[in-house]
Amino acid sequence: MKTLFDKIWDAHTVTSIQDGPTQLYIDRHFCHEVTSPQAFNGLRERGLKVFRPSQTTLTADHNTPTCNQDQPVKDPVSKKQLDTLSKNAEEFGLTLYALGNERNGVVHIIGPENGYTQPGMTIVCGDSHTSTHGAFGAIAFGIGTSEVEMVLATQCILQSRPKTMRINFTGSLNEGVTAKDLALYMISTLTTGGATGYFVEYAGEAIRNLNMEQRMTLCNLSIEMGARGGLIAPDETTFEYLKDKDFAPKGNKWNEAVEYWKTLKTDEGALFDKEYTFDATKIEPMVTYGTNPGMGVSITGSIPTLDGLDETGKISFKKSLDYMGFNPGEKMEGKLIDYVFIGSCTNGRIEDFRTFANFVKGKKKAENVTAWLVPGSHRVAQQLIDEGLYKILEEAGFEIRQPGCSACLAMNDDKVPAGKYAVSTTNRNFEGRQGPGARTILASPLVAAAAAVTGKITDPRKLN
Ligand SMILES: CC(C)[C@H](C(=O)O)[C@@H](O)C(=O)O
Ligand code: SF4
């Protein structure tokens, strides 16, 4: 009896050293401009080639501007990063979806939408949110730059085997509650270190009912709970999503693949090192009030008080609230906001924009709000046009920018000014994450939509 994680891990084990790491074969490797330059330099210095070039795919996303992408990149640091990526792709014979390419976009968005990400695979990238790809029933995790070099050179990686955890969500999600709320609820309950050292499998009725975009949102946030990664057993929803994707198997190969993918589930009775069960019907739309993703409350709730915290806890809690300009015990609903950001590998997919657009349809952006709508990829941007969402959004007063990571980590020009509040569909609300002094409130696209049209934290269930 094996867990899904064990099945995939064992199938990719090349050798394992007793009481030491496993040499794990990697099926798919993604690279972006931030964490790859030194790895390529390393290869160059050692006179090495990329071992299996067809299994590595490159995209430009972190440093890309979200306006005028057809013109030369103005910021010299970003330009250098992007040029280096292009140079490395050419020198090492790798596929790169550079700025402006129709397949370009945030790495964790373009992998799945092009069918690179498939069930049963091992997938790595020099990026913590690689956990997103686990939504397809893959072992996907972020690696460091020296490991990027290792994968480029050998298509393998040395890894110690993580412990396994299963998190079950029973019942169905209520109206207005999304995968983002599920994730923020889970992290606020288990804390940002609650899954450290574990690889999580998400299971239960609420998970089975999620579409692929929502599953990606949940798996994306696994890392914010300290997990090595998170995965969901593939099912008809997964196969339906992958069918006809550019790099998905075709014809007979597709049928064979699906037969194999159907075996990718945890056997009944298989044991996990740890298991939690949550009642999904109890979850409400969530917002964060502090400076880590675990500091979340339901939108109708209040910021916790200092009660029950020890001295150190009190100091860090106070520091966090001071940064946010909030007080313990305050209600979140009704707080004024300045910015809304829709995008990122957490919530920058078409489904997220559909949710946002459906909500703001026929309404108007609030005067006090600056809204940045950044599709996660060119495909998503094109879909917005094809589905008529672009028009709906424009009519409601929203401007749609060009794809990239953008204000998720503000490595480009999209920085939220100091002291301003941004309701953001991203995954990290750390100090300065969206710009020096910027204050981030993490939320779902639906909660962001309600904030965008009212200019304050608003329960979307009360508006429609
Ligand atoms: C730049 C990169 C290394 C980083 C990550 O690994 O997560 C970024 O994507 C982020 O979201 O903070
Ligand atoms: S969108 Fe944000 S979280 Fe995702 S890879 Fe880019 S910077 Fe990291």
CB-ligand 2 contact for 414 (6 Å cutoff): no
Residue 418's pLDDT band (boundaries 50, 70, 90)?
very high
**463 exposure class (CB count in 10 Å sphere: 0-12, 13-18, 19+):** middle
ipTM over 0.90: yes
User: Is the Cβ atom of 408 under 6 angstroms away from ligand 2?
Assistant: yes
Q: Is the CB of 106 under 6 A from ligand 2?
A: yes
The angle, 0 to 180 degrees and rounded to 10, between the axes of the packed helices 37-46 and 76-92 is: 40
Taking residues 356-368, report their average pLDDT.
98
Residues 224, 141: Cα–Cα separation, whole Å: 13
- For domain 286-462, give its CATH number from 3.40.50.970, 3.30.499.10, 3.40.50.2020, 3.55.40.20: 3.30.499.10
18 pLDDT tier (thresholds 50, 70, 90): confident
Residue 305 banded pLDDT, cuts 50, 70, 90: very high
Q: Looking at residue 464, what is its pLDDT?
A: 66
Give exposure, 344-373, as e/b (b: 16+ Cβ within 10 Å): bbbbbbbbbbbbbbebbeebebbeebbbbb
- pLDDT, position 17: 86
Give the pTM: 0.98
- Our mutation pick for probing the ligand 2 site, out of 30, 62, 380, 442, counting the most ligand atoms within 8 A of Cβ, is 62
Tokens of 301: 């709730």
**CB under 6 Å to ligand 1: residues?**
34-35, 62, 127-129, 142, 409
Q: Which residue's CA lies nearest to atom 6 of ligand 1?
A: 127
In the chain, list all ranges with CATH 3.30.499.10: 1-284, 286-462
Rounded to the nearest integer, the mean pLDDT of the chain is 97
Indicate the CATH number for domain 1-284: 3.30.499.10
Q: pLDDT value at position 32?
A: 98
Tens of pLDDT, residues 246-266: 999 999 999 999 999 999 999
| Cα 225 → chain centroid | 13
Q: Which atom of ligand 2 sits closest to the CA of residue 411?
A: 7
Residue 33, ligand 2, Cβ within 6 A? no
Average pLDDT score over residue span 379-393: 98
**Direct distance between the N- and C-terminal alpha carbons of the chain, in angstroms, rounded to an integer:** 48
Residue 225: pLDDT above 90? yes
Instruction: Please check the confidence at residue 378 and state whether its pLDDT lies above 80.
Output: yes
Q: Rounded to an integer, what distance in angstroms lies between the CA atom of residue 344 and that of residue 262?
A: 30
